[in-house]
A and B are shown apart, each in its own frame.
Chain A
Amino acid sequence: MRRTIVLLLAAASMAGAQGSVAQCEQQKHYGRLEEARKCYEALTFSNSAYLRAEGFWGLEMYQDANNQFKAAVATAPENADYRVRWGRLFYERWNKADAENLFKEALEIKPDHPGALLGLAMVLSEGFDAKAVEFAEKALKADPKLLEAQELLAKLAVEDVNFDKARKEAEKALAISPEALDAMAVLATLEVLADKSPDAWFAKIAKINPVYAEGYAYTAHSLILNRRYEDAIQYFEEALKKNPRYWEAHSELGITYMRMGREKAAREHLELAYENGFKDPATVNSLRLMDSYKNYETFRNGEAILRLHKKEADLLKLYFEPEMLRALSTYEKKYKVKLKGPVQLEVYPDHEDFAVRTMGMPGLGALGVTFGNIVAMDSPSGRKPGSFHWASTMWHELSHVYVLSATNHRVPRWFTEGLAVHEETAVSPEWGDRLDPVSLKAVKDKKLLPVTQLDRGFIRPAYPMQVIVSYFQAGKICDYITQRWGFQKILDMMHDFAGNTPTGNVIEKNLGLKPEQFDKEFLAWLDKQLATPLEKFEEWQKKMRGMAAAVKEARVDDIIKVGLEIRDWYPDYVEHGSTYEYLANAYLAKGDKKSAADEFERYAKAGGRDPSSLKKLAELQADLGRPKDAMATLDRLNYIYPVADPEMHKKMGELALGQGQVKVAVREFEAVLASKPLDPAASHYELAEALVKANEMDAARDHVISALETAPGFRPAQKLLLELTSKKEKR
């Protein structure tokens, strides 16, 4: 009873001292965190549920804040402001879906509610949605003094690499309020990105708010978007010096350390964030992923470090390690760059693990990502067979390692991506992505971006699939430069980018063309390259539909007639149901193995990747007495889907033995064993036989013993064991 009275008295006294939300925010704005805390605490004793919600929120008591917002909205369902603030709470606590719903509900009550429009812009900006700018502008139109919307526009322009616009938007924010801290952070960031000193801006920020960690953290965040991870780490650390309780920065810093392979530091920061209630999905996923690292094995060979999942390490190492060494040695010579330190390649069999490794979040569309000298990529086992050329992805990512190193991470996205795409087909014309219908249509509809604006196509796509189109365009630009001016020009451009020179200047200096003229000449070249598919695409589509119907009805002669007519109209089309495969299968139905093999061969050379079609080709080639070609076909498959197919490796091992290529045979029989075959005894025995041919008698004996360990009565293995034992005794 006595306790109740005391509490009531305390409440009455606090209510008397209670300020407004604006007052609390002002204390926070000036970095007076203790005063702000007291102010928020006082709000929790208010008679208004809404004010109590704001109070609890300010005290980081999120569940209580949520309950109070619920009560506030229940008592005043027509109050759009409450819904907007409640939405902002959800947004802050990583629940974008509920936040978005509340902003939309507020807009139903008041269609031009600036806060709701801003909230939607913020939600959209998280997904790099082009509509984020539109909503921020709408919010500003509804309330021209809405500082946060103006600051958001500046930040969005930074993301778009439109630094002039970013500066102007930030200056507009400063015109609204000379104490606009985030606008100052944007201006400081622009200086950092231009390799100039941001000190003046950070000093201004510190004068207003000495503990404003958010400013440094924003710069760090922007540096990450520009792939300057080491620099980002420094700014996160600065942010944490300002405010060690800024858990979001701990989380982001932890994820950045994780990206850079510094696991101890990553774990420290992530755990600190987590233990202090910052349990956003990125933090939780990253910690979970790091727990799973115990399931990985690390191999080092010279400057190549491979991290592979234990369940597939034995198999993938056979292919990934030599290919990685080949790529590193090729790039070192080609780019004339010597890397500082080894390169680490991490291969994830679960695509979502790779996504978390990259972004802290699942759902990433990419196949590989480079962080300085560290590359993370999907394993072939993490993708549908035939949908992924792992070697192509590896060469793509390793190109980034060299370009980022050579430019000190100061390179526009279009250039590094374009060069990486170019490299995929430079290794082998069969590698790399093919011309897809979306990119073809973009060329036809004149939707390619000017080279000086191409980065935007990667960052904030204006239409679905623009990212894909931008990769295609960037790759073609590098092909064009190489073809017209030679590869040395690419290297010269790379060195100029290292000096933070803008694209337009680099183009003009190295290629002697104004960017506009370059675009014009590039497009003319591209149109010429794609003349046939551009002209015939619609007709090709129509006839393909007819051919699909003929396939369904097994009208073999019709398939062959139409197939031969249209095959070369769009030779890059090697997706499921390609003309090549239709034709090959039609020939097979007629018993014409030679023509079928020819068509499958065209398919393979055009970049076709379907394992079953490639295996059919190998079989036909072997049947037609072309074992060397059959082996080459299966070798193609090793670069696409070497996993879960011991039969394929066995076949290739046999072909290699027949060709006298004992080293290849040994590798393939090792691959059979590493694929966990259903018949391990036979696999050990076959490997032993190959090792005998390779004159590796001790290893051969080991494997024949392993074969007999599983199947002691296995006669051929018994015979081989006796032979090897007798040879050993004679030695």
Chain B
Amino acid sequence: MRIAALIVSCAVSLQAATTYVTVAGLGGEPEYEQRFTSLAKDLDKLLKSSSPGARVETLYGPTATKAKLAEVLASVGKTSTAQDSLVLTLIGHGTYDGVEYKFNLPGPDVSSIELASMLDRIAGQQLVVNTTSASGACVPALKKEGRAIITATKGGTEKNATVFPRYWVEALRDTASDVDKNELISALEAYRYANEKTARFFETQKRIASEHAQIEDTGKGEPVREPSAENGEGLLAGRFVLLRIGTAQMAAASPEKRKLLERKEGLEQQIASLKYQRAAMPSEQYRKMLTELLVQLAQTQAELDK
């Protein structure tokens, strides 16, 4: 049942409009300025090339001000509907004074409360990817049902410049992040990819990790590092389509193939249920049943592809 709901969500998200707003904040030093701008530009290029129909707004350099950000988000709010999606990505430095998180911009900074107020005026599901230092501190102000929040740090005390944004951009470029091979990169897949790569970076550099990414997408829970069914986090992020990297099969469905598609969906559901029952059955039996279902699924897909 859960799988069926997921498929419907994917189908809806494909038809709805997605807006991507990316902001590279104040670097302070030329090295950071260049790094942040470059990441924002990379992301901009990637999104525009892979999602031709989407609205992509990227702010960097002296024009990436609080006023400009407010203007862009207000304009998104004017046209957004409940079926639409917004992805807001913040790259740069963030600060936390123990009370309030602020994203550093040329001119006045924008606080998490101000950001929340701008976002609350936009309809539809939202994903906020805050990759700045101290970004974990923005969660309390931003969390809301229908909004997934990913931050590069676990709180406001992780104040070093982060490496997470580099791997976040890489996740959207590298098809390896599409772990379930459905030709869609979800926010959850990208999060897991960037999180793992960030952890490996510190491990191979033999440095103590100065950042620990986290996610919160229920609107009422505490952010977690490892989203799972047990902690209830990751459901929204799992169905939040960030990027399409192929021809999504659902979109290609023709009436004559609907029967085959229904059979395929049924088999997918059976496989998902079987995986949940894995622990409760002998491994040989599980493997045998799984193989039978996978062969049937492969045969059905082959029919569909004809």
Task: Please give the distance in Å from B260's CB to the nearest CB on chain A.
Answer: 14
Report which of A381, A682, A715, A721 forms a contact with B294, defined as CB distance below 8 A.
A721
Report which of A384, A705, A719 forms a contact with B291, defined as CB distance below 8 A.
A705
Interface string of B176-208 (1 = CB under 8 A from A): 111111100000000011001100100111100
List of B residues within 8 angstroms of A725 by Cβ? 295
Bound Cα distance from A712 to B197, whole angstroms: 24
Bound Cα distance from A343 to B89, whole angstroms: 55
Interface string of A648-684 (1 = CB under 8 A from B): 0000000000000000000000000000011111100
Interface residue tally on A, bucketed by range: 20 to 34
List of A residues within 8 angstroms of B271 by Cβ? 712
Q: Is A564 an interface residue (CB 8 A)?
A: no
List of B residues within 8 angstroms of A722 by Cβ? 295, 298-299, 302
A703-731 at interface with B (beta carbon < 8 Å): 705, 708-715, 717-719, 721-722, 725
Chain A residue nearest to B267 in the complex (CB): A712
B98-154 at interface with A (beta carbon < 8 Å): none
A344-400 at interface with B (beta carbon < 8 Å): 381, 383-385
Interface string of B276-306 (1 = CB under 8 A from A): 0000000000010011001101110110010
Given A384-B206, A718-B297, answer yes or no on A678-B176 (Cβ-Cβ < 8 Å). yes
Given A644-B204, A718-B302, answer yes or no on A705-B181 (Cβ-Cβ < 8 Å). no
Q: Is B268 an interface residue (CB 8 A)?
A: yes
List of B residues within 8 angstroms of A709 by Cβ? 275, 290, 294
Contact A710 B177 (CB under 8 A): no
Bound Cα distance from A681 to B294, whole angstroms: 14
List of A residues within 8 angstroms of B196 by Cβ? 678
Bound Cα distance from A705 to B178, whole angstroms: 18
A-B contact count (CB 8 A): 78
Interface string of B230-250 (1 = CB under 8 A from A): 000000000000000000010
Chain A residue nearest to B293 in the complex (CB): A712
Bound Cα distance from A710 to B178, whole angstroms: 11
List of B residues within 8 angstroms of A677 by Cβ? 176
List of A residues within 8 angstroms of B175 by Cβ? 679
Task: Please give the distance in Å from A644's CB to the nearest CB on chain B.
Answer: 5
Given A705-B290, A721-B294, A722-B302, answer yes or no on A679-B200 (Cβ-Cβ < 8 Å). no
List of A residues within 8 angstroms of B203 by Cβ? 381, 644
Report which of A385, A644, A713, A719 forms a contact with B180, defined as CB distance below 8 A.
A713
Bound Cα distance from A681 to B196, whole angstroms: 16
Task: Please give the distance in Å from A675's CB to the nearest CB on chain B.
Answer: 10
The prevalent SS among residues of A at the interface is helix
Chain A residue nearest to B199 in the complex (CB): A644
Contact B204 A385 (CB under 8 A): yes
Contact B200 A682 (CB under 8 A): no
Contact A711 B298 (CB under 8 A): no
Interface centre among A712, A713, A717, A725 (most CB of B within 10 A): A712
Contact B294 A708 (CB under 8 A): yes
Bound Cα distance from A381 to B301, whole angstroms: 42
Contact A679 B177 (CB under 8 A): yes
Bound Cα distance from A680 to B179, whole angstroms: 7
Contact B206 A719 (CB under 8 A): no
List of A residues within 8 angstroms of B178 by Cβ? 679
Given A705-B290, A708-B294, A709-B275, answer yes or no on A714-B206 (Cβ-Cβ < 8 Å). no
A507-542 at interface with B (beta carbon < 8 Å): none
Chain A residue nearest to B270 in the complex (CB): A712
Report which of A383, A384, A682, A715 forms a contact with B301, defined as CB distance below 8 A.
A715
Task: Please give the distance in Å from B138's CB to the nearest CB on chain A.
Answer: 26
List of A residues within 8 angstroms of B305 by Cβ? 715
Chain B residue nearest to A647 in the complex (CB): B176
List of A residues within 8 angstroms of B291 by Cβ? 705
Contact B179 A711 (CB under 8 A): yes
List of B residues within 8 angstroms of A681 by Cβ? 179-181
Chain B residue nearest to A708 in the complex (CB): B294
List of A residues within 8 angstroms of B197 by Cβ? 678
Task: Please give the distance in Å from B275's CB to the nearest CB on chain A.
Answer: 7
Bound Cα distance from A715 to B183, whole angstroms: 10
Task: Please give the distance in Å from A613's CB to the nearest CB on chain B.
Answer: 15
List of B residues within 8 angstroms of A682 by Cβ? 176, 181
List of B residues within 8 angstroms of A385 by Cβ? 204
Bound Cα distance from A709 to B295, whole angstroms: 11
Report which of A381, A710, A719 forms a contact with B298, defined as CB distance below 8 A.
A719
List of A residues within 8 angstroms of B298 by Cβ? 708, 718-719, 721-722
Bound Cα distance from A681 to B301, whole angstroms: 18
Chain A residue nearest to B249 in the complex (CB): A713
Given A711-B182, A712-B294, answer yes or no on A678-B301 (Cβ-Cβ < 8 Å). no
Chain A residue nearest to B207 in the complex (CB): A384
Chain B residue nearest to A641 in the complex (CB): B204
Bound Cα distance from A682 to B182, whole angstroms: 12
Task: Please give the distance in Å from B167's CB to the nearest CB on chain A.
Answer: 10
Task: Please give the distance in Å from B238's CB to the nearest CB on chain A.
Answer: 14
Bound Cα distance from A713 to B287, whole angstroms: 17
Interface centre among B175, B287, B301, B305 (most CB of A within 10 A): B301
Given A385-B204, A644-B200, A678-B196, answer yes or no on A713-B179 (Cβ-Cβ < 8 Å). no
Chain A residue nearest to B189 in the complex (CB): A678
Bound Cα distance from A710 to B295, whole angstroms: 14
List of A residues within 8 angstroms of B182 by Cβ? 711, 713
List of A residues within 8 angstroms of B179 by Cβ? 678-681, 710-711
Contact B299 A712 (CB under 8 A): no
Contact B295 A721 (CB under 8 A): yes
Contact B295 A679 (CB under 8 A): no
Contact B294 A713 (CB under 8 A): no
List of B residues within 8 angstroms of A381 by Cβ? 203
Bound Cα distance from A42 to B267, whole angstroms: 86
Contact B181 A714 (CB under 8 A): yes
Chain B residue nearest to A716 in the complex (CB): B181
Given A721-B294, A722-B302, answer yes or no on A705-B204 (Cβ-Cβ < 8 Å). no
Bound Cα distance from A335 to B271, whole angstroms: 58
Chain B residue nearest to A701 in the complex (CB): B291
Task: Please give the distance in Å from B241's CB to the nearest CB on chain A.
Answer: 15
Contact A679 B176 (CB under 8 A): yes
Bound Cα distance from A710 to B196, whole angstroms: 17
Interface centre among B181, B196, B275 (most CB of A within 10 A): B181
Given A644-B200, A705-B291, answer yes or no on A711-B181 (Cβ-Cβ < 8 Å). yes
Task: Please give the distance in Å from B214's CB to the nearest CB on chain A.
Answer: 19
Task: Please give the distance in Å from B185's CB to the nearest CB on chain A.
Answer: 12
Chain A residue nearest to B182 in the complex (CB): A713
Interface string of A215-244 (1 = CB under 8 A from B): 000000000000000000000000000000
Task: Please give the distance in Å from B178's CB to the nearest CB on chain A.
Answer: 8
Given A719-B298, A721-B294, A722-B302, answer yes or no on A710-B180 (Cβ-Cβ < 8 Å). yes
Interface centre among A383, A710, A714 (most CB of B within 10 A): A714
Chain B residue nearest to A644 in the complex (CB): B204
Chain B residue nearest to A383 in the complex (CB): B206
Task: Please give the distance in Å from B213's CB to the nearest CB on chain A.
Answer: 14
List of A residues within 8 angstroms of B290 by Cβ? 705, 709
List of B residues within 8 angstroms of A384 by Cβ? 205-206
Task: Please give the distance in Å from B278's CB to the nearest CB on chain A.
Answer: 9
Contact A705 B287 (CB under 8 A): yes
Interface string of B58-83 (1 = CB under 8 A from A): 00000000000000000000000000
Bound Cα distance from A3 to B203, whole angstroms: 64
Chain A residue nearest to B192 in the complex (CB): A678
Given A705-B290, A709-B290, A712-B271, answer yes or no on A678-B297 (Cβ-Cβ < 8 Å). no
Q: Give me the 7 closest cross-chain CB pairs, A-B, nearest first.
A: A718-B298, A711-B181, A679-B176, A714-B181, A711-B180, A708-B294, A384-B206
Q: List 5 A-B contacts (CB under 8 A).
A: A678-B179, A678-B197, A681-B181, A682-B176, A721-B298
Tell me the A residues contacting B by CB distance below 8 Å: 381, 383-385, 644-645, 677-682, 705, 708-715, 717-719, 721-722, 725
Q: What would 7 more interface pairs be, CB under 8 Å, given A644-B203, A678-B176, A709-B294?
A: A644-B204, A645-B204, A677-B176, A713-B249, A715-B301, A717-B181, A721-B298
